[in-house]
Amino acid sequence: MRALLVVDVQRDFVDRGGRLYFEGAEKVVPVVVDWVERFKRENLPIITTQDWHSVDDPEFKIWPPHCVEGTSGARLTEELEKALAGYEKHFVVKKSRYSAFYNTNMDELLRELSVDEVYVCGVVTHICVLFTVEELRNRDVAVKIITDGVASYDEEFHRVALRLMEEVLGAKPITR
């Protein structure tokens, strides 16, 4: 079964004024929402990850505090929240590290849903997207990267991550 995986499309990353917002992050939102609508029409699972940190998370030694559990910045961006409202096949994975598999129920969720192919979009291409795709491929899950639905604050890292996911991990690039 196919599933859509939306990585960290949260207010602290993609909304202007968010704690780790970067110029251009918001461009993924309409693409992500378009894919959400496609998967909803086919009644397919949609998994959203959310960076979800305690106030004293060790990650804050590397990055400024962001996506603190229960805060507005940790919420999905408004457009995505609206698109997913009431959709019964929407599943949330809250994570505290780059990979959506570290200390989460992602493995179990994919098994329960019988997912063998994942379409991936979100932010940041060379961080949470890359490390999650690597884990998917380690589990022999087929991956399609929605290239116009991922973004990074560093264009060079963005290009390198896309290349690594395709050439090293075997993920297939696609667009709308």
Span 88-109, pLDDT tens digits = 999 999 999 999 999 999 999 9
In whole angstroms, what is the distance from residue 12 CA to residue 119 CA? 23
Provide the CATH topology of domain 2-174. Rossmann fold (3.40.50)
Contact call for residues 133 and 121 (beta carbons, < 8 A): no
φ, ψ dihedrals at 119, nearest 5°:
-95, 125
Q: Tell me the two tokens of residue 125.
A: 């291409």
Q: Where are the domains of the chain?
A: 2-174
Q: Distances from the Cα of 170 to the Cαs of 114, 115, 118, 126, 166, in angstroms?
A: 20, 17, 13, 16, 5
Give the pLDDT of residue 176.
73
pLDDT confidence band for 49 (50 / 70 / 90): very high
Q: What is the pTM of this model?
A: 0.98
Q: What is the DSSP letter of 72?
A: G
